[in-house]
Amino acid sequence: MNSKRAIPTLHDVATTAGVSTATVSRCLNFPDRVSPRTKDKVLAAIEALGYSPNFGARAMAARRTNTIGAIIPTMENAIFARGLQAFQEELRLHGFTMLVASTSYKPEIEEEQIRSLVSRGADALLLIGHDRRPEIYDFLETQGVPALVTWAFDAASHRTSVGFDNQRAMQEMATEVIKLGHKKLALISAETANNDRALARRTGIYQAMEDAGLPPHDLQVVETSYGIVEGANAFGEIMGRGQKPTAVFCGNDVLAVGALRRAREMGISVPQDVSVIGFDDIELAQVAYPPLTTVHVPHREMGQKAARALSRLLLEGIPLEPTLLKTTLVYRNTLAPINF
Amino acid sequence: MNSKRAIPTLHDVATTAGVSTATVSRCLNFPDRVSPRTKDKVLAAIEALGYSPNFGARAMAARRTNTIGAIIPTMENAIFARGLQAFQEELRLHGFTMLVASTSYKPEIEEEQIRSLVSRGADALLLIGHDRRPEIYDFLETQGVPALVTWAFDAASHRTSVGFDNQRAMQEMATEVIKLGHKKLALISAETANNDRALARRTGIYQAMEDAGLPPHDLQVVETSYGIVEGANAFGEIMGRGQKPTAVFCGNDVLAVGALRRAREMGISVPQDVSVIGFDDIELAQVAYPPLTTVHVPHREMGQKAARALSRLLLEGIPLEPTLLKTTLVYRNTLAPINF
DNA sequence: TTTTAAAATGCAAGCCTTTACATTTCTGCA
DNA sequence: TGCAGAAATGTAAAGGCTTGCATTTTAAAA
């Protein structure tokens, strides 16, 4: 039947509409530069043929794609989802399309994905965190693809970032916790290798301890990969040891929710027996039981600002500017003073 | 400085390595068809130049992209994430790359995304649910892009699907609930317009009621959009009315978790005062408090099988085959018999 | 009407790869 | 050493679109 009907091209549309390919192309790209009558003919032909422009050819001829790539560690949880959603929505307003790729927190995969998105013609890239091989940045430079770092902020880095200060945020929280009398602290951290955010958060706690005259060395740290179950196990490990902490920091809310769950299973009351602190303030944090005390990160704002910055750069040539976003402490029900 | 250095092309690599473009191309695509010595030279040139193949040109010349597009309603929650992750992992094993796009549950955006992915050269598409305008399917046919429907199963549809029977699954659950003595039922449903899964789940409950001799008309239905907060509000609305149900079904786990939360806030005990039932069995369901009774959907299996089916089609020409996956009832702590 | 500028349209080159086919270089063996 | 066949490499066309420039049509002004 219709089996081997060839895919319609610009040329087919032009023939059907009785115009040149240039006109069809303009009709698609600059509708006002075409007379209404012609436009109608062309659109009718497009509709009749079921034509769809070939992106590759278009990208090659136009040397841009109106596409921005975002490379995130994982889509499996909400941490990046919300910010990304905002990023996409804002991008859409400016006529850009977002392409997402995920890396499972593996640097090799990240490099692969960066190359893949660049080769797919991404006009710019959104990256998470600063930490990657300089070769990658060189590559991006060679390819002329601007990249914006988010979810972290480092004024020192020459890579522009729109993000927040992971270390300071965690340090603020830790300072508050210490003020409440907690001295025996533990941290369930995401893996710090290749993850500057996790590292910065840990450093923030060390810093707060030092400032308070506590030996940083005393912080019990368990590193684990992402996931509720992983958080639960890490919590079990920590509370199973001799030296039980009175406050357990978690590198992110997902781990914290896991900790909360294991606490319940172990019959440990939060916050009476132990305080649990999260990071990120994703939806999960409010829903957890008890509702989680955590550090709020303005994910939506971050996504939106990142999108604006990139559109401005691409559309108007306005250079990227480092932007520091404020985090806030959200007190809910998992943190209590010691000996209350 | 390095400002206007042009982006390196295959041709540049060829010149640098002192070979023809054909050789460079082969070096990239069929490494064993090139002598080791030449390969070294070429790879060195590629490295030195920071070359990255132009995807568009490649797609155009090769007439395939090894890319499969997935279009999902939203990335904001875990419902699609897990299945998609599995889909991607399996795809990767077969040498394909996944491209994701999301639609915010809006049919117009979905159409746009379908066109966008097709025009980007997706060799095939993964779609959620059957329900869309026939024109879209015609378009896909014209473009020669196979599409596989998931998250739903309809043997009657001529669009092949790898999924589960939403109606039957919900019906089974409802039958059990009714067996426990529940007669006053409510449903917090996702919006059923343009969502055949939500519709099927509702129908499942109606069916179960009818089978049990209950008037389907008695089911209190509140439709709401996605989100924990929305679920909470819907629950509040239902429990604020005169006729209070003894069991509240939820179209998905996210809504259910919202319901649970609001119940707690209202001082309503689950399951003593009211039973709450979810759907999907995402991670959230286990973590909720109390752990949620729900319908388990084999998301990972679905993603994996979909990926296999598509790879087989693209690589070996084996036609897609409808595949029905089994759901199971997961009893946790939010469902209890009436008058217990 | 005629003239003139503006608007609409057409022509054709160029964007970067892959690949069928042609040609050259090896390899092993007589 | 010479030769056939295999392996490696090169040549050049094709693929679909955009866009600078040239040409034609339209509209407005005279």
CATH 1.10.260.40 residue ranges for chain A? 10-53
Q: Is strand D in 7 Å reach of the CB of A33?
A: no
CA A90 remoteness from chain centre: 15
Q: Which of A54, A115, A258 lies at the smallest CB-CB distance from B119?
A: A54
Q: Which residue minimizes Cα–C1' distance to C20?
A: B22
Name the band, by pLDDT with cuts 50, 70 and 90, for residue A256.
very high
Q: Report which residue type is found at B78.
A: A
Distances in Å between the Cα of B208 and the Cα atoms of B170, B179, B184, B211, B286 are 9, 10, 13, 5, 26
pLDDT at A295 over 60: yes
Decide: B161 and B325 in contact? Cβ < 8 Å: no
Token pair of B140 as six digits: 């896909």
- Using an 8 Å Cβ cutoff, are A57 and B60 in contact? yes
Confidence of residue A156 (pLDDT cuts 50, 70, 90): confident
- Helix pair angle (A166-179, A196-211), 10° resolution: 40
CB B66 within 8 A of CB B43: no
Written out in words, the top-level CATH class of the domain with range A10-53 is mainly alpha
User: Between residues 146 and 205 of chain B, which touch chain A (CB distance below 8 Å)?
Assistant: none
Collect all residues of chain A within an 8 Å Cβ-Cβ radius of residue B142.
5, 7-8, 49-50
Question: What is the share, in percent, of chain A residues with pLDDT greater than 90?
Answer: 86
Residue B138 contacts A where some CB pair is shorter than 8 Å: yes
* pLDDT tens by residue, chain B, 340 residues: 333 457 899 999 999 999 999 999 999 999 999 999 999 999 999 999 999 999 999 999 998 899 999 999 988 777 898 899 899 999 999 989 999 888 989 999 999 999 999 999 999 999 999 999 999 999 999 999 999 999 999 988 889 999 999 999 999 999 999 999 999 999 999 999 999 999 999 999 999 999 999 999 999 999 999 889 999 999 999 999 888 999 999 999 999 999 999 999 999 999 999 999 999 999 889 888 899 999 999 999 999 999 999 999 998 889 999 999 999 999 999 999 997 5
Torsion of CA A244, A331, A337, A236, to 10 degrees: -10
Residue A221 has a pLDDT of 97
**What tokens appear for A175 in the block?**
């300072």
Query: What would the pLDDT profile of A207-230 be if each residue is shown by its tens digit?
Result: 999 999 999 999 999 999 988 999
> What are the angstrom distances between the C-alpha of A264 and each of A23, A337, B118?
68, 20, 49
Asked if A295 and A169 count as a contact pair (C-beta separation under 8 A), the reply is yes
Note the pLDDT of residue A248.
98
CB-based contacts with strand C under 7 Å? A 18-23, 26, 32-35, 37-38, 57, 60-61, 63; B 7, 9-11, 21-22, 24-26, 28-29, 51-54, 57-58, 60-62
Residues of chain B with CATH 3.40.50.2300: 67-164+299-325, 166-297
A82/chain B closest Cα distance in angstroms: 6
Burial of A178 from C-beta contacts in 10 A (0-12 / 13-18 / 19+):
buried
Grade residue A197 by pLDDT with cuts at 50, 70 and 90.
very high
Residues of A with Cβ-Cβ distance to B74 under 8 angstroms: 85
Q: How far is the CA of A48 from the C1' of C19 (A)?
A: 33
Among all residues of chain B, which has the CA nearest to that of A264? B289
Nearest residue in chain A measured CA to CA from B265: A287
Q: Is the CB of A322 under 7 A from strand D?
A: no
Banded model confidence at residue A4, pLDDT cuts 50, 70, 90: very low
Asked if B124 and B313 count as a contact pair (C-beta separation under 8 A), the reply is yes
What residue spans in chain A does CATH classification 3.40.50.2300 cover?
A: 66-164+299-325, 166-297
Distance CA B20, CA B340 (A): 81
Q: What is the mean pLDDT of chain A?
A: 93
Residue type, A258: G
For the domain covering B166-297, report its CATH number: 3.40.50.2300
CB under 8 A, 24+ apart: contacts of B48-52: B48/B16, B49/A142, B49/B8, B49/B12, B49/B13, B49/B16, B50/A138, B50/A139, B50/A142, B50/A143, B50/B8, B51/B8, B51/B9, B51/B10, B51/B12, B51/B13, B52/A115, B52/A118, B52/A119, B52/A139, B52/A143
CA distance A79 to A129: 14
What homologous superfamily is domain A66-164+299-325 in, according to CATH? Response regulator (3.40.50.2300)
Contacts of B332 (CB under 8 A, 6+ apart): B285, B286, B290, B291, B292, B293, B294
User: Measured between alpha carbons, how far is B159 from B147 in angstroms, rounded to an integer?
Assistant: 8
- At the topology level, CATH places domain B67-164+299-325 in Rossmann fold (3.40.50)
C-alpha torsion B234→B240→B241→B245, nearest 10: 70
* CA distances in angstroms from A221 to A2, A148, A244, A279, B82, listed in the order given: 64, 31, 12, 16, 29
pLDDT at A2: 34
**In chain A, which residue ranges form alpha helices assigned H by DSSP?**
10-17, 21-29, 36-49, 55-62, 78-93, 107-119, 134-142, 166-179, 196-211, 228-240, 253-266, 283-287, 299-316
pLDDT value at position B20? 95
pLDDT at residue B3, rounded to an integer: 34
The model's pLDDT over A15-64, given as tens digits with 9 standing for 90+, comes to 999 999 999 999 999 999 999 999 999 999 999 999 999 999 999 999 99
Q: Has residue A5 got a pLDDT over 70?
A: no
Q: Which pLDDT tens digit goes with each residue over A104-125?
A: 899 999 999 999 999 999 999 9
Q: What is the largest CA-CA distance in chain A?
A: 85
